[in-house]
Structure 1
Amino acid sequence: MESDALFTLGEPTGAPGAPGGTSGASATGVDGFTAVTADAPLPVRMRPTGIDELVGQDHLLAPGAPLRQLVGGVTPMSVILWGPPGSGKTTIAHLVARATDRRFVAMSALSAGVKDVRAVIDTARRQRRSGGPPTVLFIDEVHRFSKTQQDSLLAAVEDRTVTLLAATTENPYFSVISPLLSRCVLLTLQPLDDAAVRGLLRRAVTDDRGLAGTLTLQTEAEEHLVRLAAGDVRKALTALEAAAASATALGADVIDLTTAEQAVDVAAVRYDRDGDAHYDVTSAFIKSMRGSDVDAALHWLARMLVAGEDARFIARRLVIFASEDVGMADPGALGVATAAAHAVEYVGLPEAQLNLAQAVIHLATAPKSNSATTAIGAAIADVRAGRGGPVPRGLRDAHYSGARGLGHGTGYRYPHDDHRGVVTQQYVPDDLVGTDYYRPSGHGAERSVGTRLPLLRRIVRGLPGSVSRPDGGAGTERAGSAAEQNDSRSGTSVPDAAQEGGDAVGEGQE
């Protein structure tokens, strides 16, 4: 038996035409919802009985809004409800089921197949032809349906043989096929804020459907339950019920903080390694490091570790980040990230979380540069656009027999034979001469690279401004103040090498 939001899917409970009831035999075995009994879980007993009791989704509850039309049966529109657990998706389905002029069929994608879907559609088509009520088909966890299963819904939704009401916790743009998504209205439900969860807890304490005032919830215990819920009302009510049972067993009439903490030991982390939260948390992790917020980065790292994320996945992301976002501003960052990845393989969790934390701190606080990312991106774009002719003759392989006869290697100048370690020579195909891909930033260690690079380019390309000095260094001409002008492509100011105090080409990083 499947459960979501504030009630459970089960066998039919009403007579034909009654809320949750059926007209004819059930095609799936999950037609309608189970009745609410006195011993039902607290979240089930406290489910809203009308749309005005629905909280936390004010953006969907305006007069005339699609959600009100759906619940009221005004317009037979198919809807996909997308939201996190406990936000009220199935509660909305329950409210729709209360409409007496519609046949309501509920099924879970965890257990239903194409045969079940087609049986419901066939029954709905026969009933419509005979003047029967329209059918609302509710599918919980629709993202678990395969493409074939989702395809089986298209025609019936298109001609309104059924009005589809589907619920998913996963991003429907990834988990629902485009043809089905285009036939439905997408309603996005938000996690409940703390005030909404707090209000529902207080209602459950006093309402006859809940604890009926038999116990008092202390403020500290209430705040603890709200914090653990993290926007999931079902989790909050389940925790409250557990705490109430503990208090009753102890003969107490008050649920205090100690009782609440003992009843719910650890908060479940909302994180699915194969789901939407996986990508959202990973994105937040990367963006926090990129933004140099080390504290936020450590939070997201902890979130992944506590939820059981594969440490190797985290390590791979760090290695990528070290080049993608830190790059030449701190060339040592790649070594730190790679060492952390090795530590994960060599040491393993839980100890390797220390190595991951050290790498995250280093990467988050390091100077940032995406010059390597943009450089290779620009180069790849040119290659894909067809730029780049034959390899220059002097650079071609001349080691095999006959290569010299073809002119391979002819004219090649060996850089180490020059006192500067760099010579004027064409290294790129003809149509890429003068193209700059790498544009260093002024951050961290890359600042010194930005000083040397214009000089290197002038020498390699044989541009005016680079001559040999008698002392063996790389000098620059002063005519026309060329050394003080900006390089036309890189935009970097080229300083006078003599003022830099020696061979600007050969000096190391700062």
Structure 2
Amino acid sequence: MELFSAAESNEKAPLAYRMSPRNLDEYIGQSHIVGPGRLLRRVIQADRLSSLIFYGPPGCGKTALARVIAGTTKSAFDTLNAVLSGVKELRQSISSAKERKELYDKRTILFVDEVHRWNKAQQDALLPWVENGTVILIGATTENPFFEVNPALVSRSRIFQLKPLSKDDLYAVAHQALNDRERGYGKWKVSFEEGALEHLISVASGDARSLLGALELAVETSVDSFPPQEGTELFVSISAAEESIQQKVVLYDKDGDYHFDVASAFIKSIRGSDPDAALYWMARMIRAGEDPRFIFRRMLISSCEDIGLADPHALGVVESAAAAFDRVGMPEGRFHLTHAVLYLATAPKSNSSLAFFDALKAVEEDTKSEVPNHLRDANRDKEGFGHGEGYLYPHAYRDHWVAQHYLPEQMRGRLFYRPSSQGYEERVRDQVTRRREAQLALGQMEDPGEILSFGKPSGKEARWLARLADNASENLMLLRKAIFDEAKPARHELVLDLRADDGLLLWEACRKSPEGGVWGALRSREALQRLEGYASTLDDPGRPSLFVAGSEPLRKGIPEEISFEVVIGRNHFLRLPESEHLGEMENIFSVLKSKGRVVVVETIPKYGMRLSDAVASIAPQEGSLIELLKKAEESIYETGTNDTTSWDEKSLTEHAAAVGFQVDSPRFFPLEEERTIGSRELKRWLSPSTEGGYGACISQLNLADIRETEKRLTTILAGHPIPWRRKLVLLKFHR
């Protein structure tokens, strides 16, 4: 207490010490914790303090606030500085505090400045006396107390974070010192050259102690002998201000250039890859006295805003140059400034990081989108709500990636990041684009290529089935690669995608034939709008021509003068009855050039996974149920009563040959993945209204029997992983 109060009457004490606030009304700044009605202000005024820790940068008012408390409280107030004091001094303070409590029932507030400078043992020595109430601790630290102060002390204290003082706060501190007759310079008429006081405040950077120290030096050296006679006029020049705070005022040349105009020209020169101009504008700033840290800050921003992933090393180069500058200083530090600016100016450029602002706009426009169920935290609500169900762990897949959706359902298909074709980003662009296309395709597949899924599930279930049946990325990439390995489209050839709704083959074709052209036949206008949206992100010459074919002949959407060297497709025939295969082969034949080629991959329904096989793999004892399912499957796949499901690759090759195609030997792709069947799927498969499904084929059972079968299947299959098999065929035709 005595240490704090002594400063008020000591005219020889430093100005910062003399101007320490005596009460809350004189305290400037930190209104977020000591403003009217705030908790800390109330407890100080009521003298109801508990242990506190003040955390903030130098000069923000931590010690000053402790002095206010010292002048307000009725408790004894003791101070220690952790830099100068150790366990011995702490024991003396504790001994005095115990004596006051035992003899006079008086509390003691112990202020420990720089408390983080005590080691763990020293902090531990204080802990029991805080716990038993012998002392109330007020600690001050410039370091994060959660990392640098004993956790036990932190847990017993309220933490208040103080912020650097604003310019307005610093102006108030300066005017308070200049107008105070007892402790400051109110006895004299102090004036400043234009810009001098502003310079002191700017360079102080939120530190009141630094400002008052510089102000003291500037005022008291403005006369030959201080203090002069009361009423003397004291004038502080810019040069005196510069010397007082050891930094020059930034003054651009007589043409009147402004600070931010020159900085703008500097950054725009870097962005424009002009190293000469960038050096010139930087030299202008250095010559004018600009703080090199300001220049480095601008370059750190530019390294991500203007260079970004075109050269991901740019940020590290600037950061390293800035660190080296801090160690070397001026004038040699100009080499590090030059090194950084030349690197940025000559680096490839990309502003793809601006994608954040597109994403932010989307968030502001749509505040209701929820986290998709498969991305939710499974640790909390997996059992009750199924959170996390369906999530595919990328590290379990080849290349540590699997196609699945990560955006909310309403946002799927939105693209924010657009990789440039510059530098390193060009190397990742292809990978990002292909993976993105696989994700877009995943969300648009109408079926997983299984007869069990006939009935066209909708919404989330359709996407879930599609993801499982195509095993997301691995099978999608496998099939796409197989198609293009066989088709081998040349750069100048015209390519037609027979069923481009999901875009899986379409975008790869655009990359393979950039000098020819790509057409995409679509089933719906919704698909047209979606794909045109994605195509708008591509370079104009590389965009495909899209048209809605529906069930109309292909030639209706393709000009007569256009014929194709290559036609590709995936599951184009899957939903077509066998009776329509011949007409569809003629349809394809009509748009193919002589010597043109057709490559399609088709899921053959006849070779698909059988429900009877799934039951047998888990519950082989269910013989009667297995036999019932096999009878239904015989009708579905074997007898030809349903020509949508009973055809195989021979049907396709025969119809192709009938219209004049030469047919290569088919290639088969047996695929297997682990799959879990849901109760909703079983319900749909067994519904009598599902055309070609199990329910329709066992119609001799009454509805109650079907429901009983559904219950048994749900008990056996639901929630159990099953090795799910299917068979695809790649067919190549020549005209």
Task: Check whether TM > 0.5.
Answer: yes
Structure 2 residue 233 is the aligned partner of structure 1 residue 253:
yes
Q: Which position in structure 1 is the counterpart of 2:554? A: none
Alignment check: 8 A CA contact 1:134 1:161 kept:
yes
1:164 aligned to 137, 160, 166, which one?
137
Alignment of 1:478-493 (within 5 A): 478=496, 480-482=498-500, 485-487=502-504, 493=507
Q: Report what 1:425 is aligned to.
A: none
Separation in structure 1 between the aligned mates of residue 114 and residue 237 of structure 2, nearest angstrom? 35
In the alignment, the residues of structure 1 paired with residue 189 and residue 502 of structure 2 have an alpha-carbon distance, to the nearest angstrom, of 80
1:242 deviates by 1.1
2:178 partner SS: helix
1:131: which partner in 2? 104
Q: In the alignment, what sits opposite 1:326?
A: 308
Q: 1:243–1:259: 8 Å Cα contact kept in structure 2?
A: no
Equivalent-residue separation in structure 1 for 2:30 and 2:175 (angstroms): 19
> Who is 1:356 aligned against?
340
The offset of 1:134, in angstroms, is 0.8
1:468 to 483, 486, 496: 486
1:56 maps to 29
Take 1:101 and 1:501, find their aligned partners in 2: how far apart are those partners? 87
Residue 266 of structure 1 corresponds to which residue in structure 2? 246
Structure 1 stretches lacking a partner, 5+ long: 1-19, 22-29, 269-287, 372-377, 379-384, 390-427, 505-509
Tell me the SS of whatever aligns to 1:167: strand
Distance in 2, Cα, partners of 1:174 & 1:457: 45
Which position in structure 2 is the counterpart of 1:238? 213
- Pairwise CA distance, 1:80: 1.0
2:23–2:71 Cα contact (<8 Å) kept: no
Which residue of the partner structure matches residue 212 of structure 1?
186
Identity of aligned residues (%): 26
Tell whether 2:121 aligns with 1:148.
yes
Quick check: 1:501 aligned with 2:515?
Answer: yes
Per-residue displacement from partner, 1:70-104 (whole Å, max 9, x unpaired)? 53462131111122222221112112222463221
Change (3 A) 1:107 1:471: closer
Residue 82 (structure 2) aligned to one of 104, 109, 112: 109
> 1:500, CA displacement in angstroms?
1.8
CA radius of gyration, larger in: 2
Is contact 2:56–2:62 with CA below 8 Å preserved after alignment? yes
Deviations 1:268-309 (A, max 9, x none): 9xxxxxxxxxxxxxxxxxxx9xxx9x99xx9xxx9999579x
Which structure is higher in strand share?
A: 2
Deviation at 1:69, TM superposition (A): 4.2
> Contact (CA 8 Å) 1:468, 1:475: kept in 2 or not?
no
By how many angstroms is 1:123 displaced? 3.2
Which amino acid is the alignment partner of residue 231 of structure 1?
G
1:444 aligns to what SS in structure 2?
coil
Q: How many angstroms apart in 2 are the aligned matches of 1:104 and 1:160?
A: 14
The aligned counterpart of 2:675 is none
Aligned counterpart, 1:223: 198
Distance of 1:204 and 1:481 partners within structure 2: 80
Q: 1:85-96 counterparts in 2 under 5 A?
A: 85-96=58-69
Q: For 1:261, what is the secondary structure of its paired residue? A: helix
**Counterpart position of 1:278:** none
Alignment partner of 1:44 is 2:17: yes
What displacement does 1:131 show? Answer: 3.2
Alpha-carbon separation, structure 2, partners of 1:435 and 1:64: 51
Q: CA deviation at 1:42?
A: 1.6
TM-score using structure 2 length: 0.43
Give the letter for the 1:237 counterpart. L
How far residue 350 of structure 1 moved from its aligned partner, in angstroms, is 3.6
1:448-484 deviation per Cα after TM superposition (whole angstroms, max 9, x unaligned): 62566769988961336424347767999746324x6
Q: Secondary structure at the match of 1:210?
A: coil
Q: Specify whether residues 503 and 182 from structure 1 end up closer, same or farther in structure 2 by C-alpha distance, changes over 3 A only.
A: farther
Partners in 2 of 1:215 and 1:364 — Cα distance?
58
Quick check: 1:97 aligned with 2:79? no
Q: Are 1:32 and 1:105, in contact at CA under 8 Å, matched by a contact in 2?
A: no
The answer to which structure has the higher helix fraction is 2
Residues 58-457 of structure 1: matches in 2 within 5 Å? 58-63=31-36, 65-72=38-45, 74-99=47-72, 101-208=74-181, 209-218=183-192, 220=194, 221-249=196-224, 253-267=233-247, 326-327=308-309, 330=310, 332-334=311-313, 349-360=333-344, 366-368=350-352, 387-388=395-396, 428=398, 441-445=417-421, 446=425, 449=430
Task: Identify if the C-alpha distance between structure 1 residues 202 and 458 changes in structure 2 by more than 3 Å, giving closer, same or farther.
Answer: same
Whole-angstrom CA distance in 1 between matches of 2:318 and 2:4: 56
CA–CA distance in structure 2, aligned partners of residues 386 and 467 of structure 1:
26
Q: Secondary structure at the match of 2:49?
A: coil
In the alignment, the residues of structure 2 paired with residue 494 and residue 240 of structure 1 have an alpha-carbon distance, to the nearest angstrom, of 69
Gaps in structure 2 of 5+ consecutive residues? 249-266, 356-374, 376-392, 407-414, 439-472, 519-541, 543-735
SS at match of 1:170: coil
Tell whether the 8 Å contact from 1:143 to 1:172 is kept in structure 2 after alignment: yes
Kept in 2, the 8 Å contact 1:467–1:476? The answer is: no
Q: Are the counterparts in 1 of residues 7 and 13 from structure 2 also a CA contact under 8 Å?
A: no
| Distance in 2 separating the partners of 1:190 and 1:128 | 35
User: Structure 2 vs 1, CA of residues 436 and 475 (structure 1 numbering), >3 Å: closer, same or farther?
Assistant: farther
Amino acid at match of 2:101: R
- How far off its partner does 1:199 sit? 2.6
Instruction: Describe the superposition over 1:44-69 as per-residue Cα deviations: whole angstroms up to 9, x where unpaired.
Output: 22222222111112223345533334
* Structure 1 contact 137–163 (Cα < 8 Å) conserved: yes
Q: Contact 2:492 / 2:514 at 8 angstroms: preserved in 1?
A: no
Output the TM-score relative to the length of structure 1.
0.60
Change (3 A) 1:503 1:486: closer
Assess if the C-alpha contact under 8 Å between 1:451 and 1:495 holds in 2: no
Quote the offset at 1:186 in angstroms: 1.6
Identify if the C-alpha distance between structure 1 residues 432 and 226 changes in structure 2 by more than 3 Å, giving closer, same or farther: closer
Once the 2 structures are TM-superposed, how far is the Cα of residue 124 of structure 1 from its aligned partner? 1.9
The aligned amino acid for 2:335 is E
CA shift for structure 1 position 158:
2.4
Are the equivalent residues in 2 in contact too, given 1:337–1:359 (CA < 8 A)? no
Give, in whole Å, the separation in 2 of the partners of 1:163 and 1:73: 15
Contact 1:48–1:91 (CA<8 Å) still a contact in 2?
Answer: yes
In structure 1, give the amino acid aligned to 2:308: V
In 2: Cα distance, 1:205 partner to 1:85 partner: 22
Q: C-alpha separation between the residues in 1 aligned to 2:242 and 2:417?
A: 54
Q: What SS does the aligned partner of 2:218 have?
A: helix
The change in CA–CA distance for 1:227 and 1:341 in structure 2 (over 3 A counts) is: closer
Q: Deviations over 1:201-254 (max 9, x none)?
A: 223223222123323222623222222222222222222221122211189833
| Cα distance between partner residues in 2 of 1:215 and 1:207 | 12
Work out the number of aligned pairs and report it. Answer: 387
| Residue equivalent to 1:400 | none
Amino acid at match of 2:207: D
